[in-house]
Copies of this chain bind each other. A is one copy, B any other.
Amino acid sequence: MNANQYLIGVPGSRQSLDTPALLIELPALKRNIARMAELAASRGIGLRPHAKSHKSVEIARAQIEAGAIGVSCATLGEAQVMVEAGIPGVLVTSPVVGANKVRRLVELARQAGPGRLMVVVDHPNNVEALASEAAGLGYRLPVLVDYHSGYHRTGVADAESAVDLARKIASTDTLVLRGLQAYGGNVQHIGDRRQREEAAAGLRRNAAAVVAAIEAAGMQVDIVTGVGTGTHDFDSSARVFTEMQPGSYLFMDSAYLDALTDASHAAPFETSLFVQSTVVSVNAKDWVTVDAGIKSLATDSGKPLAARGIAGASQYEFFGDEHGKLIGDPAHRPSLGERIEFVTSHCDPTVNLHSFYHVVDGDTLVDIWPIQARGRL
């Protein structure tokens, strides 16, 4: 597939894209990147943003240029894309399990070179597999102990297991213990700011206790990573985490925008990601049909919001794989061919449905960025 196919007609105009099209509003994206970088710098905490959200080399480079120390990746496939593009400081935030994948990870570490790729572990068998495969690497592969953080998706179950696993890592000749990951995936979207703050504080206390236990056992913990968009403000002010791995602050989908906005706080980041659709059928009495459905908008976190191109109140409903139903104000009924843009409820899986970002500044299409790690599961 070639990006140019999207540019038939009038290149340079936001209104001439083939829809459904994933859009980034570049000024908003740049402001989000700068704000998080400034916050991290002002609080003396490292920023290793999560590339699982954007899956894009261009965005990773922009984050590094703004001061990020590297990027985090959820999968080995994402890490390959980032390492091959020369992005430094890649952290794989999920355990890499299975003989083939362990082999690929170590091969990638060889390609990256010392200090450019780290991975988390949560099980002694996985430590053994990594240690054995890393024998030919030529340098010690840096690893972090993954702690469950109350979420129990991945990670060791308690401080004792963390110490045991850290000891096992330290006992190898081929791995080096760098620290701890404690990512609270279940804390990030808590809508009440006070409750979210308390949950984050609880997680930090637990993480600090695990760090203390590992250090009490005579091992060094240089890195404590975690922290998403939802807790960045609290976690960056406290002295537990040495670095953060937020992703969604870039795009601010409607779920995060809701969670981070309340009566006394405006969200510190702004929505920069949109899906543009075209009205393709106008014969139904109570709605029009647009060409964006299940295959272009994530469905796991609720309905998208109509954001641009429509006057009056409106509501989107999924209408099959390729279509959406837009129920609107009869006084402002869109006509055939009109463009309607939506804010997604969940940015990461929406990005994963598309092959390109259409980068716009106002009404001008200024660039097309491939989503290199799309589908790199």
Contact = CB atoms under 8 A, between A and B. Distances in A.
Interface string A353-373: 111000000000000000000
Interface in A60-89: 74-75
A321 B248 CA distance: 13
B103 A337 contact: no
Interface stretch (A167-175, A249-257, A291-299, A304-312): A291-299
Contacts of A75: 322
Nearest to A280: B97
Interface string A92-130: 001101111101100000000000000000110110000
Query: This chain: how many copies in the complex?
Result: 2
Contacts of A1: 375-376
A281 to B, nearest CB: 4
B283 A8 contact: no
B16 A97 contact: no
A376 B125 CA distance: 41
B103 A8 contact: yes
A291 B349 contact: no
Q: Which of A157, A299, A374, A377 has the most CB of B within 10 A?
A: A377
Given A154-B289, A294-B298, A122 B16 contact: no
B278 A98 contact: yes
Interface in A240-289: 278-285, 287, 289
Contact of A281 (B154, B298, B346): B154
A218 interface: no
A103 B279 CA distance: 17
Chain A's interface size range is 35 or more
Nearest to A101: B18
A375 B355 contact: yes
A20 interface: yes
A239 interface: no
A316 to B, nearest CB: 14
Contacts of A74: 321-322
A352 interface: yes
Given A281-B155, A355-B375, A295 B9 contact: no
A336 interface: yes
Given A100-B9, A154-B323, A295-B377, A336 B281 contact: no
A98 B337 contact: yes
Nearest to A371: B375
Contact of A94 (B100, B148, B280): B280
A325 B94 CA distance: 14
Interface string A143-155: 0000010001111
Contacts of A295: 348-349, 352, 375, 377
A320 interface: yes
27 contacts: A1-B376, A5-B104, A8-B104, A9-B100, A20-B377, A52-B322, A74-B321, A75-B322, A94-B322, A95-B280, A97-B279, A123-B336, A126-B336, A152-B283, A153-B323, A154-B280, A154-B289, A294-B346, A295-B375, A298-B299, A299-B349, A300-B318, A352-B353, A353-B375, A353-B377, A354-B375, A355-B375
Interface of A: 1, 5, 8-9, 16, 18-20, 52, 74-75, 94-95, 97-101, 103-104, 122-123, 125-126, 148, 152-157, 161, 185, 278-285, 287, 289, 291, 294-296, 298-300, 318-323, 325, 336-337, 346, 348-349, 352-355, 374-377
